[in-house]
Amino acid sequence: MPTPSYVGSMAGQDFLNTNDYSQDEIVSILRAAGDLRSDFRNKVQTQYLSGKTLFMLFYNRSLRTRNSFEAGIYQLGGHAHFLSPSDVYTPTLPEDMVPYQTEAIADVGRVLSRYGDAIAIRVYGDAAKWVIGRGHRIIQEFARWSSIPVLNMEDDVFHPFQALADMRAILDVAPKPKGKKFVVSYAYSGGLKPLAVPQSCVLIGTQFGMDVVLAHPKGFDLEDHVIKAAKENANKYGGSFEVVNDMKEAFKDADFVYPKAWSPKTFVPPYNKAVDKDGASAYQNSFKDWKCTQEMMDLTYKAKYMHCGPVDRGQEATDDVVDNDAYSVYFEQAENRLHVQKAVMAMVMGA
């Protein structure tokens, strides 16, 4: 079987944020992911990265992310190394160095660059001290010093591979998504969660000309630079972007709904002097009615239900919504993680 033209088409490039790439470039990734998904289902061998090594550095554990990346590189003929900060000196920023506990990212990035072919990193929340943007800085620092591609497996600002998987699911239902109403909504959860998923969702949705509605209670605002970029995308690609504070208003006549928890940023740095988890949880408890139920789905225009997983069943959404085969694409999104990641790896790691 000949090697597809997309293999190596982005050789050497980092992948930190979907908005770093043009719509045409994202489309090419999603097409490759579709081909790889078809090959996988038809048991076609895709050994395009034979002998290649991916280093996976997990500051935060994950079911979907670890297994989809590890399985993906294997299916492409390569090999993954799982690295946990608990097993090595924690790679960290210059201001956080502690002798015999940490190692400079500048050193780790350059060392791993001599051993393999790409570095993938997942860091947010406690691992980033709940300082919004610190996790992204860690990944940027790796990209600065590494001579091999750096892949963002999720930080506290962006979750680019989830956004790719989401858009692949949308395209499967609506091959021409421009003008479709895509609602990215807060949904209640008791724990602290990063802004990465909703921020990447509004960016990729507006990048495809969708009419994106961001719904959340007051106090759950996304980062200003993300809102600015979403508005710029809407102007550039012909869609729209608006923010509302009413979940029912947002769901009305929607084509896709993505109810997902994230935490109010005013309880953590740099918007607060210290991390106030109790205060954030108490504030979130005022919005338990922000839940996706069948009654909410009935307000939509036969919308597809979406979630990155793991969904907090009974809090963010009811079981009858999550498990509804007629409109839930929850498991399709999870499957797509495998194939969009394979696509990007083949593009940036291939020759």
> What CATH number is associated with residue 180?
3.40.50.1370
Kindly state whether residues 52 and 24 are assigned to the same domain: yes
Q: What is the mean pLDDT of the chain?
A: 97
pLDDT of residue 338: 98
Which residue, 44, 53, 43, is CA-closest to 79?
Answer: 53
CA atoms of 182 and 45, how far apart (whole Å): 36
Residue 290 lies in a domain: yes
Report the pLDDT value the prediction gives residue 85, as an integer from 0 to 100: 84
Phi, psi dihedral angles at 224 (to 5 degrees): -60, -40
- Report yes or no on 24 lying in a domain: yes
Is 191 in the same domain as 228? yes
In a domain, 343, yes or no: yes
Same domain, 239 and 296: yes
Q: Are residues 187 and 103 in the same domain?
A: no
pLDDT by residue (tens digit) across 126-147?
Answer: 999 999 999 999 999 999 999 9
Which residues is 92 bridged to in the sheet? 104
Residue-level pLDDT at 271 = 96
CA distance 200 to 159: 6
In the prediction, which pLDDT does 115 show?
A: 98
Nearest to 265 by CA among 198, 219, 197, 230: 219
Cα(263)–Cα(319) distance, integer angstroms: 23
Q: Which long-range contacts (CB under 8 A, 24 or more apart) does 321-329 make?
A: 321/292, 321/293, 321/294, 321/296, 321/297, 324/297, 327/297, 327/302, 327/303, 328/304, 329/169, 329/172, 329/173, 329/304, 329/305
Residue 233 has pLDDT above 90, yes or no: yes
Residue 103 near residue 90, CB atoms below 8 Å: yes
Helix or strand holding residue 240 (H, E): strand 240-244
Residues 185 and 312 in one domain: yes
Q: Examine the domain organization and report whether 93 and 239 are in the same domain.
A: no
Token pair 């050994």 is found at 47
Peptide bond into 270 cis (omega under 30): yes
Give the span between the Cα atoms of 101 and 98, in whole angstroms: 5
Q: Does 176 share its domain with 98?
A: no
Tens digits of residue pLDDT in 193-215: 999 999 999 999 999 999 999 99
Q: Is residue 336 scored above 90 in pLDDT?
A: yes
Whether residue 204 sits in one domain with residue 137: no
* Residues 148-193: tens digit of each pLDDT: 999 999 999 999 999 999 999 999 999 999 999 999 999 999 888 9
**Beta-bridge mates of residue 211:** 181, 240
Give the number of domains in the chain.
2
pLDDT in tens, 3-53: 999 999 999 999 999 999 999 999 999 999 999 999 999 999 999 999 999
Question: For residue 273, is it within any domain?
Answer: yes
Q: List pLDDT tens digits, range 77-129.
A: 999 999 998 888 999 999 999 999 999 999 999 999 999 999 999 999 999 99
> Quick one: pLDDT at residue 26?
98
Helix (H) or strand (E) holding 278: helix 277-284
Band of the pLDDT at 323, cuts 50, 70, 90? very high
Do 236 and 251 sit in the same domain of this protein?
Answer: yes
Over residues 280-286, the mean pLDDT reads 95
Decide if pLDDT at 253 tops 80.
yes
**Is 192 buried (19+), middle (13-18) or exposed (0-12) by CB count in 10 A?**
buried
7 domain-assigned: no
Residue with the larger pLDDT of the pair 2 and 324: 324
CA–CA dist 71, 132 (Å, integer): 30
Residue 4 lies in a domain: no
Domain span at residue 100 reads 18-158+337-349
Same domain, 213 and 97: no
Query: Does residue 9 form part of some domain?
Result: no
Q: What is the mean pLDDT of residues 250-266?
A: 97
Looking at the structure, tell me whether residues 186 and 278 fall in a common domain.
Answer: yes
Q: Judge if 210 and 230 occupy the same domain.
A: yes
Amino acid found at 102: T
Q: How buried is 334 (Cβ within 10 angstroms: 0-12 exposed, 13-18 middle, 19+ buried)? A: buried
Per-residue confidence band for 292, with pLDDT thresholds at 50, 70 and 90: very high
Order of strands, edge to edge, in the sheet holding 304-305? 240-244, 211-215, 181-186, 256-260, 304-305
Residue 24 contacts by C-beta under 8 Å, 6 or more apart in sequence?
A: none
Residue 297: pLDDT band with limits 50, 70, 90: very high
The amino acid occupying position 10 is M
Close Cβ partners of 16 (under 8 Å, ≥ 6 residues apart): 136, 139, 140, 143, 150, 151, 152, 158, 160
Q: Judge contact between 266 and 195, C-beta under 8 A.
A: no
Taking residue 68's Cβ as centre, other Cβ atoms within 10 Å add up to: 23
- Whether 10 maps to a domain, the answer reads no
